A and B are shown apart, each in its own frame.
Chain A
Amino acid sequence: MIGSLGGLLRRAWTHPSGRWGALALVVLALVAVAAPPLLPDPAEMPDAVLGATPPSLAHPLGTDQLNRDMLARVVVGGRISLSVAVLAVLVSLTLGAAVGLVAGYAGGWVDAILMRGVDAALAIPRLFVLLLLLVVWEHIPLGALILVIGTTGWFATSRLVRGEVLRLRHEPFVTASEALGATGWRTIARHLLPNAAGPLLVAATLGVGDVILLEAGLSFLGLGVQPPTPSWGGMVLEARPLIVTAPWTAIFPGAAIVLTVLSVNLLGDALQAALDPRGA
């Protein structure tokens, strides 16, 4: 499995956009992890009276309307957004794989019920599900937020895994090992991962982009990540009154979102192309 993943990554690397995407992500991740100790405290309001100041040497990205350093806030916000996205996607992957495995292997009415449920869940836009939950759960703790976002995003993954399981089920080596007495269950699990790893990785990568946009949107509506914890969407919300007089307060957090999601999507695209060269 590692081998096939490695091969996939190598092939993705040959795409220029994939290369840029991957590089940008690595840089972003490094900054998010390593930079905060080097930067001022994002909650510091040295002189709130000064309000928003344009970018300068002391504050490379300027300050927001409470005179907090924008660079520090964008970086810490990035840390939050990236961790929420990655963890939520992990939750989705796990849930989706589990359900897909069960549905594909069990077949019959279990499969039918599960898939009908997945269809129904896919009919309700993810944003609305989250809105209905978060509107009543004011001040949701970050961990619960991650779980909630993750639990709403596994449906397409389960389909994917189920498809793979169904395909594998009819492979000769599975029927053969079943005839020999080994439970098909284990065989499938052993062979599932290498085969599904590629598409799952692509789905996960693109999923990270989706969650970043989703979480930014929720923070913009005042749900999701709560102040004073900085979040990119929350920063755009606070910057709204200043969009004309202090545009940098809104532009930088938004640009951070665009950069991150774009990198993630470029990488995902390259991985997809590496998987299936015909579509490139």
Chain B
Amino acid sequence: MFIHRLLIPALFTAASPAAALQRSNDHGSAVIIMGQEPATPIPTLLNGSANIAVSDLLFLRLARPGVGLSTTDERAFEPQLAQSWSRRDSLTIVFELDARARWHDGVAVTAKDVVFSFARMRDSTVDAQRALLLRHLASVVAEGDRRVVMRFRRAYPEQFYDASYHVQLLPAHLVDSLPPGPRFTSSEFVKRPVGNGPYRWTRRDPGRQLELAADPGYFLGAPKLDRLVFLTVRDPEAQINLLLDGTADILEAVPPVSGPVRLAANPAVKLLNIPSLSVLYLLFNQRAPGDRTRAHPILGDVEVRRAISLALDRLNLARSTYGRFALPADAPAAQAHWTRGIVPRGTAYNPPAARALLASRGWVDRNGDGVLEKDGVPLTLRLSIPATSATRAIMAPQVQEQLRRIGVRVEIDRLDFPVFIERRTKGEFDLDLSAANMDPSPSGIVQSWSCAGRGGSNVGWYCDPGLDSLLDRAIYTTGSGGRTWQAAYARLQGDVPAVFLASPAWSVAVHSRFRNVSIRPESPYGDLWRWSVDPGRRISRDGTGAPSR
């Protein structure tokens, strides 16, 4: 065991005490910082990006998109639980499951699990969003233990993507006795999930950390990182501090401008730029806060919304938040989406036009207090932001100031993340600085911007049937893709349901001792099981990590 030589100096060195364990040379462990707690990384309970990210290590899909995220080419997908696939016709796909795939309790993954999982997740009372995404799937049938046949109602380019990407499998033998609802959420399965991915659940310290251990029998190859610890640290400052003092190895959301400067102080930390799938926008609530039956008294008027978008200097907002080379986004198309290049230009910065527009709608400052009124109601809007977001902390005061100049008073609510999400979901906000992590396919846009998305991700309650039919055409007709997408985006811009601000590149900080590092835009930790540690650069915690259970 470890021997202490002197107590006092031990108090002041930054290195943690080491425990000596013999392990093969390129193995190690990783400490990953999460801004939110991944309390339930379990399919059907995946609320929040933290849960989604961790679930990729525990629960696999049938297949996943290859590098480049081409969601319309079947051959570009990588096998996960499905070893191979073929087509019987334009509406039917057949998956052959990998015989080596096993749940962490040893039971084999079978077609029954696939049928069960799809049935669970297409239940709109359980997961409305996924039900919406899978609306064209007619049936999922098992043929024997290893074969699954999926039938669709229509043929369209992203059929295979829908068949393979949206559902992560749940073990039928453990979950089918637990109906969705409180019995499931309070079950032993949720407290100690059993998955089929490269990592298995070790333990969770609520509010603080989550530990996963490598599954040496993982059928696609034993992971070299034996132990993963996910630390929940909400404060962006504390996150960087933990990276700088060596306690943590990976941080996914590095604050764009100040982060790289600060991290330069620790040369062992590398910054990776990943094309991101996120889009930042200022969302307008179209319905009255707290009462969705009425239209929003101020923002229900499209000209008011347009005026606000004219008053925002989007170029400067993007640059001041994300750096000199950032460009504003004009539509919900992220950097990594193929449609990014065809988005029509958005509104230009024009505050006098904004003022004139508001005046034409009856908003005038009668009492000289700098805030416009109409019928005695002042133009005051509440902007909700999560307290721990560094980017929103920079953007929100600028939005407030730019809108103040045209007579709109904005009050900023800094809320804890769960409260922020609750208020958003309930529609209790006027303005909201949303950062949407979009799906790999631009068709995910239906979740937030179609009529059917209301009650799910479409918290602004925006609904335009004309846009819905354009999106339908763009997604489901082969060949007319580009121009229809363009028309759809143009229509969305005309309705101004939000002011699109930026689609930032994503900075991920990774300790330089890791080898074979790859981070995917749609699944940051999906490839962690392939990483290893440079044998010459192992640190004390790489030597630890015997699975404790």
0 or 1 for each of B304-316: is its CB under 8 Å from A? (1 = yes)? 0000000000001
Q: Are A245 and B397 in contact (CB under 8 A)?
A: no
Q: Are A65 and B394 in contact (CB under 8 A)?
A: yes
Among B10-18, B67-75, B271-279, B408-416, the one that faces the other chain is: B408-416
Task: Name the residue of chain A whose CB is nearest to the CB of B255.
Answer: A241
- Give every chain B residue within 8 A of A228 (Cβ-Cβ): 397, 400-401, 404
- Give every chain B residue within 8 A of A226 (Cβ-Cβ): 411-412
0 or 1 for each of B187-203: is its CB under 8 Å from A? (1 = yes)? 00000000000000000
Is B366 at the interface (CB under 8 A from chain A)? no
Is A124 at the interface (CB under 8 A from chain B)? no
Q: Are B394 and A244 in contact (CB under 8 A)?
A: no
Is B7 at the interface (CB under 8 A from chain A)? no
A-B contact pairs, 30 of them (CB 8 A): A43-B401, A43-B404, A45-B398, A45-B401, A49-B316, A49-B319, A49-B320, A49-B324, A66-B320, A66-B397, A66-B398, A67-B320, A138-B413, A139-B413, A222-B414, A226-B412, A227-B397, A227-B400, A227-B412, A228-B397, A228-B400, A228-B401, A228-B404, A241-B236, A241-B255, A241-B258, A241-B390, A241-B393, A244-B262, A245-B261
Q: Are A241 and B316 in contact (CB under 8 A)?
A: no
Closest-CB distance, A52 to chain B (whole angstroms)? 8
When chains A and B are docked, how far (Å) is the Cα of A168 from the Cα of B321? Answer: 65
- Give every chain A residue within 8 A of B394 (Cβ-Cβ): 65-66
Given contacts A238-B393, A241-B390, A244-B262, contact A48 B413 (CB under 8 A): no
- Give every chain B residue within 8 A of A45 (Cβ-Cβ): 398, 401
0 or 1 for each of A42-67: is its CB under 8 Å from B? (1 = yes)? 01010011010000000000000111
Is B237 at the interface (CB under 8 A from chain A)? yes
Task: Name the residue of chain B whose CB is nearest to the CB of A226.
Answer: B411
- Give every chain B residue within 8 A of A244 (Cβ-Cβ): 262, 265
Is A243 at the interface (CB under 8 A from chain B)? yes
Q: Are B237 and A240 in contact (CB under 8 A)?
A: yes
CB under 8 Å from chain A, chain B span 385-443: 387, 390, 393-394, 397-398, 400-401, 404, 411-414
Is B257 at the interface (CB under 8 A from chain A)? yes
Q: How many positions in chain B have a CB within 8 Å of any CB in the partner chain?
A: 26
Q: How many positions in chain A have a CB within 8 Å of any CB in the partner chain?
A: 22
B interface list, Cβ under 8 A from A: 236-237, 255, 257-258, 261-262, 265, 316-317, 319-320, 324, 387, 390, 393-394, 397-398, 400-401, 404, 411-414
Q: Are A245 and B398 in contact (CB under 8 A)?
A: no
Q: Which of B258, B400, B413: most chain A Cβ within 10 A?
A: B258
Given contacts A49-B324, A226-B411, A238-B393, contact A245 B400 (CB under 8 A): no
Given contacts A65-B394, A242-B258, contact A51 B320 (CB under 8 A): yes
Task: Name the residue of chain A whose CB is nearest to the CB of B244.
Answer: A244
- Give every chain B residue within 8 A of A242 (Cβ-Cβ): 258
Q: Which 9 A-B pairs have the closest CB atoms?
A: A48-B320, A49-B319, A245-B261, A49-B320, A222-B414, A139-B411, A240-B237, A244-B262, A241-B258
Task: Name the residue of chain B whose CB is nearest to the CB of A52.
Answer: B258
Task: Name the residue of chain B whose CB is nearest to the CB of A67.
Answer: B320
- Give every chain A residue within 8 A of B255 (Cβ-Cβ): 241
When chains A and B are docked, how far (Å) is the Cα of A138 from the Cα of B411? Answer: 10
Given contacts A49-B316, A66-B398, contact A245 B258 (CB under 8 A): yes
CB under 8 Å from chain B, chain A span 28-54: 43, 45, 48-49, 51
When chains A and B are docked, how far (Å) is the Cα of A238 from the Cα of B387? Answer: 11
Task: Name the residue of chain A whose CB is nearest to the CB of B413.
Answer: A138
Closest-CB distance, B384 to chain A (whole angstroms)? 11
Query: Which residue of B237, B261, B316, B400 is within 8 Å of A48 (Cβ)?
Result: B316
0 or 1 for each of A222-252: is its CB under 8 Å from B? (1 = yes)? 1000111000000000101111111000000
Closest-CB distance, B507 to chain A (whole angstroms)? 14
- Give every chain B residue within 8 A of A139 (Cβ-Cβ): 411, 413
